[in-house]
Structure 1
Amino acid sequence: MSYVGPDSQPPRPPRRFSGGPLTVTLAALVPTCLAGWLIYEATSGPGGSEPPRTLPSTSQSAQGSVSAVPSPSKPEKDDKGDEDDKGKGEEADAKPSTTKPPKSSSRPAASGPLKGKVVVVDPGHNLGNGKHTAEINRLVNVGTHRKECDTTGTSTNNGYSEAQFTLDVSRRLRTLLEKQGATVKFTQDGDPPWGPCVDERARIGNDAHADAVVSVHADGSAAGNRGFHVILPASVKSGDADTSKIVVPSRALGERIAGKFVSATGSAPSNYIGDGTGLDVRKDLGGLNLSTVPKVFIECGNMRDAKDEALVTSGAWRQKAAQGISDGIVSFLRG
């Protein structure tokens, strides 16, 4: 920008006056003014413009001017750090358990009455089954017939799912059994996106050479139907299914669990299945038909009944349920 001011205008030619002191004075001043003008022109740069001003440095501008633009700040975390935070959020959402141990726990077994014993816990269904209907509807061979790989399970009338319930109780059960010295393995711990299929669940127990397997469930019967029941394998020999060696020990396991479940929870045996015994024998469940080790299912209550719903949605009651199942397993394995 050019500087514009009164000193930038060239002097007008002097008027001629005749005679007198004023004329003499003006004649003396004219050369002086002209010399001053020439000096100004020589020192003010081309075109009479002002010498360029030097802008303050970035740091000075930031300190003394609100128009200063700060340099972009670096992100506080790199990509890896962000991923680590996502992992923490996922673990918080997976509560009540704060970690995701593998199916075969790497934690050393504690000393206790069950040291050396292997227990497989099978949390029924899977939280992701509903998003994988094509996969879980695939038919698999369960010995006596073919049936769906898995199902979504039931839920309470207020939306608490069986898969949530079974995983929570199973994790509580694992903690109790490990304190007794048992090695505990899961068929799924909320880690696979769906399943596994019922035949694979049976295979996991078989391959582990488990001393006992318990599949944790809750029922979805009509309102008014209340209580728990334990499902035992029937005598089956068809195709890949042969329960002849596990029927007797499985019944012993189921009876121990039923008795201890009453003591721990105060719940009564089912009023709609088992004729008041809390025991039910079935031959249509692939998880039982294909098992070669002692195995039972437990339906801890009826999620569709309001009174049972109040129980299964209570963390305190779920702890009692886990305690009852654990006590039954301990009693069975100790003889």
Structure 2
Amino acid sequence: MYDDDTRKRRRLTKAVLLAAVPLAAAAALAGPLTGMFSGGPADGGPGGGRGRGASPAPAAPGTPAATGPGPSTSARSGAAPLAGKVVVIDPGHNPGNFQHTAEINETVDVGTHRKECDTTGTSTNAGYTEAAFTLDVSRRLRVVLQGKGATVEFTHDADRPFGPCVDERARIGNAAGGGEGADAVVSVHADGSAAGNRGHHVILPALVKAGAADTAPIVGPSRTLGERIQAAFARATGSAPANYLGGGTGLDVRDDLGGLNLSTVPKVFVECGNMRDPDDAALLADATWRQKAAQGIADGISTYLLG
């Protein structure tokens, strides 16, 4: 028989032991669960803005990068050199433009003159369209930039029937990042020149001051952005600068593009190759090469933003 004090001590000991059992079980489970979610593939999905959570598996070769918000492992671990930077990616044209020719033929003011809202873009002889190419490369580019910690916004993601028009594309970059404007805007394209004309080039804004256009504040930084992208693109893809313009520099200055004329933030166009040349077309149609193209553009943007 126990006295009252002894019984109280026994009941207290039993209560402590019973409480410890679920705590121990939870601790045992925590280890495996942490292991399940601490790793993951290097590439996250290409959803707009910064991602959170585990990354999905990389997309199969020949397909656009899988959708979803996950950043790279390096971004999750804190190695995010572009954190706080806002990049707008402008996929040239839109797959839906082919069904909306009347709408995209309407003209808009680009500062120096009026110009078509948009065009269908070009294609390879085999029918691979520029609109499909630019969307694929842009999605891959988004994945790489998000892996570096950047906030990425698109002018469109084939989520609208056509367009946007060139003036709206400029306004999207100007208003990005909550209205402060993007740190850099890159419009992704492929050229439609004559066969035999090969290579890549980057289009830079000319000095334009007319109507709603005033590129004076962005000419200098846009040139720096373009030079960084051209050099990185050449390294990543092994592609030579265009042999038909730019004097072998891979750079071309134009004053007739509304997307550049109306931009108030640093912006360039990247013409990744010539779809009408069979050798360039073979590269542009290759998923492995398109990944290199995206990496090269991302590397150029990164070196520009990091100074």
Q: TM-score, normalised by structure 1?
A: 0.69
Q: 2:131 aligns with which of 160, 163, 173?
A: 163
Deviation at 1:95, TM superposition (A): 4.5
Q: 2:215 aligns with which of 238, 243, 247?
A: 243
Matches of 2:109 and 2:188 in 1, distance apart? Answer: 22
Matches of 1:218 and 1:184 in 2, distance apart? Answer: 21
Q: What does residue 334 of structure 1 align with?
A: 306
Deviation at 1:118, TM superposition (A): 0.1
CA RMSD of aligned residues (A): 1.9
Matches of 2:115 and 2:228 in 1, distance apart? Answer: 30
Tell whether 2:87 aligns with 1:119: yes
Matches of 1:97 and 1:172 in 2, distance apart? Answer: 6
SS in 2 for 1:140: strand
Structure 1 segments unaligned to the other structure (5+ residues): 1-91
Identity rate of aligned residues, in percent?
72
Is the CA contact 2:204–2:252 (under 8 Å) kept in the aligned structure 1? yes
Q: What does residue 3 of structure 1 align with?
A: none
Matches of 1:175 and 1:107 in 2, distance apart? Answer: 7
Q: What does residue 149 of structure 1 align with?
A: 117
Q: 2:160 aligns with which of 155, 171, 192?
A: 192
Q: 2:108 aligns with which of 134, 140, 154?
A: 140
Structure 2 segments unaligned to the other structure (5+ residues): 1-59
Tell whether 2:148 aligns with 1:176: no
Within-5 A mapping of 1:1-335: 95-99=63-67, 111=78, 112-208=80-176, 209-335=181-307
Deviation at 1:97, TM superposition (A): 3.5
* Deviation readout 1:245-268 (Å, 9 max, x if unpaired): 000000000000000011000000
Aligned partner letter, 1:265: T
Which segment drifts farther, 146-155 or 110-119? 110-119
Is the CA contact 2:174–2:265 (under 8 Å) kept in the aligned structure 1? yes
SS in 2 for 1:171: helix
Q: TM-score, normalised by structure 2?
A: 0.75
* Deviation readout 1:31-71 (Å, 9 max, x if unpaired): xxxxxxxxxxxxxxxxxxxxxxxxxxxxxxxxxxxxxxxxx
Q: What does residue 34 of structure 1 align with?
A: none
Aligned partner letter, 2:229: I
Matches of 1:151 and 1:245 in 2, distance apart? Answer: 28
Matches of 1:107 and 1:204 in 2, distance apart? Answer: 23
Matches of 2:203 and 2:70 in 1, distance apart? Answer: 30
Is the CA contact 2:71–2:143 (under 8 Å) kept in the aligned structure 1? no
Deviation at 1:96, TM superposition (A): 1.7
Deviation at 1:222, TM superposition (A): 0.4
